[in-house]
Each structure stands twice: as structure tokens, then as C-alpha cells.
Structure 1
């Protein structure tokens, strides 16, 4: 698990053949074989290292779901070591499991901040809420606005200087991890519905169990959020 607070920006040394090698310094201070390091939001396992770089294996599934295929030698990447019980949780809970990619639509200055607007698929946007948390290339950010096909985050100067976001431009692809809590809440709600209704809800285009619940008039209906339901699942 990670916090979305980037420790340093490394550089790709080599990529290809299912192997990614990255030049780094800070994240290598206490590294061990088998440790997890978040690379542009992707949780990777250290397979070898020395004082200046580390190597990780990359599965085809990871390539398909992320922007790794756009990296080349020298590309800057955001790095973060796995959190410990002593780590300050300055961002939010980040698993390092990418849900999909987004595309930079625009970058607009607003005072000392930069508004970054990103296009994203509906399957991702359903988990993104205004003032909620989202990880972009592994960076914990607060959502400023959500549209029908995009969302916006506001970047302070420190974030731009301490990450690879200052290299992004219109058309750049980024890795997106939505809030893990939203996905688990949805899963709990889906599991409370009859199997026939689960499929029907998605096929009808509503897709979200929250949408289904909002259309129920009886608070005691099966699957409704009640005090008993919340207590059952530890809330």
C-alpha cells in the first residue's frame, strides 16, 4: 500500500522484454529484494538493485492497463516506497493497482495553481467524486470538478516541482487509480442484490448499485443502506 506522496522522480534506464529498470536514489536507501515500489502509480516488485538503480518485472496485463508502453529511456517516473505503520498518511490509501488511463485535455493556470483536466472512461468516472481523492501517476490529488466525460484536479507549485506532472502536455496519457473505498462500497451493495437484478441493472445502463438504490422507495427494501446494513459490514 502507498500514500500517493511522491518521494522522488526517477529516470527509466531500460524498458522492454517484460523488464523495467529505473535510475533512482532515495527509494533505494533501505530497499530489499521483493520490496514494492510504486512507479507512476503502479505497484512493482524489486527483482534486483544496486546503489543507483532497481529492476522490476512487468506483466502483459500491466502493460495493457497502464501507460508503461509510452515510456522510453530517460522518461521521468514518480517513485514511492510502500508505506509502513510509522508512515504519515499525508495523501490517501493507494493500492498501486491501476484502474485505467486518462488523457490530458488541458492545462490552465489559476493563480498559483494549475488546473489539469483529464478525459476518462465512464467506468472510471463513476468512482470519481468532487472533493474526493484520486491517484494520477501515483500522486494523491483532490478532485476539483467532475464532468460527463472528464474530471479536473488543481495542482500546487510543490506538486508540479516534485513530480513528473510538469512534463505533461495536451494528449499525454496518465495512469489513474480511483478511490479504493468507493469500489468496495459498490461491491458490498452489489452483493446484497439478487443475481438476476445485478445483471439487469448493468444492462439497463444504470450500471451503479447506488443508482438502483436511489430509485427504491422503501428504506427497508433488500439492499438498501440502513443502520443494520452499515453495522453488519463494520461501518
Structure 2
């Protein structure tokens, strides 16, 4: 499990592509690698991956074809910057909301506004997932727990403060970029339960 509080920015040092599998070699800030072990879980842009090898401050991760298809990891190249979070431990503060590290869908940056000391990001989401997105609800974008702002039929936005921009890769996003989305599990459960009872948001 993860908390949605991005711990820092890592960089893809290199990658190896083989049939059905890509291995990412990712360089981390050394201060975030205390007690890291082979088999540990780390979220890269919100996607839970397993450490397969360590060489100094570089960790390796294998991503199978299905993971590459469902996430934006297949878009990464050598030098790409990524958000990371190590798995939560019992007793850790939950500053965001609980995440599984299992990506539900991807979205596209639709527009960016930069008023003074703020940044507003707009995302276009596949229509089948909009039923779980509500104003003031929770959502995870590239592994960061964020509060949803306004919602339309196929878009939503989030408001970012300077600290969020500093601690994540969001300041580098451009219109047209793809990002990973993990829907809040409690919201999904409630919406699906109500739909089975006949209260389907799509019919309202």
C-alpha cells in the first residue's frame, strides 16, 4: 500500500526491452534507499513495481507487457523524471489517501493554467471512468494523492501549490502528455454498489 505522498523524483538511467518485458534501471536520491531490499515495492508514477536488483543508488524494476499497456511506463525513456514513493509501513502517517499502486486508466493533459503562485491542470479521461470522479473527491495522478476541483462530462482539474510542483514532476507536464490515474477505491466501491441497486450516475 501507498499513501499518495510523493517522496521525491527519480530518473530513468537506462532501460532494456525484451519480448513482453521491459527492465527499468532507475537512479534514486541516496537518502531514500535506506534498508531497501530486493523484492521491495516502490511506486513509479503511481505504478507498484518490485525491486529486482540494486547497484548503488540505481534500482531495477521489471514491467510486463500488460503493465506497459495499461500505464504510461511504456512512454519512459532514458533521462525521464518520475515520481516515486516507497511502500508504506505500519505507523506511517497517511497524509494523502490509501493507494494500491494499481493503475486504472490513463488521462491526457488537456490544458494548463498558471496564475500567480498556483498551477491548474486539466485532464481528459476516458468516459467510462468519469463516473468515479467527483468535485472535492480524491484521485491519484502519477502516484500523487490530489483533491479534484471542477468536473465536466469528460474532464476534471486539480489545483497545485508551489510545494507540490517542487516535490513532483508536475511542473514539467505539457498539454498532450499522458498521466496515470488510480481511482479512489472507496469511491469506486460506493458508485458500483449504488449502480447495482439501480442508482446509476450515468442515467442521472
Relative to the length of structure 2, the TM-score reads 0.91
Number of aligned residues: 199
Match of 1:24 in 2: 28
Check the 8 A contact 2:6/2:85 in 1, yes or no: yes
Match of 1:62 in 2: 67
Deviation at 1:34, TM superposition (A): 0.8
Match of 2:177 in 1: 172
Deviation at 1:16, TM superposition (A): 3.3
Matching of residue 12 in structure 1 with residue 8 in structure 2 = no
Secondary structure at 1:48 match in 2: strand
Deviation at 1:109, TM superposition (A): 1.9
Report 1 or 2 for greater relative contact order, CA contacts < 8 Å, sequence distance ≥ 6: 2
Higher strand share: 2
* Structure 2 spans left out of the alignment, 5+ residues: none
* Structure 1 spans left out of the alignment, 5+ residues: 194-208, 216-235
Check the 8 A contact 1:27/1:80 in 2, yes or no: no
Match of 1:211 in 2: 200
Match of 1:103 in 2: 108
Secondary structure at 1:176 match in 2: strand
Matching of residue 183 in structure 1 with residue 185 in structure 2 = no
Q: Distance in 2 between matches of 1:168 and 1:90?
A: 24
Match of 1:230 in 2: none
Check the 8 A contact 1:67/1:174 in 2, yes or no: yes
RMSD of Structure 2 on Structure 1 (CA): 1.9
Aligned pairs for 1:35-184 within 5 A: 35-184=40-189
Check the 8 A contact 1:125/1:149 in 2, yes or no: yes
Higher helix share: 1
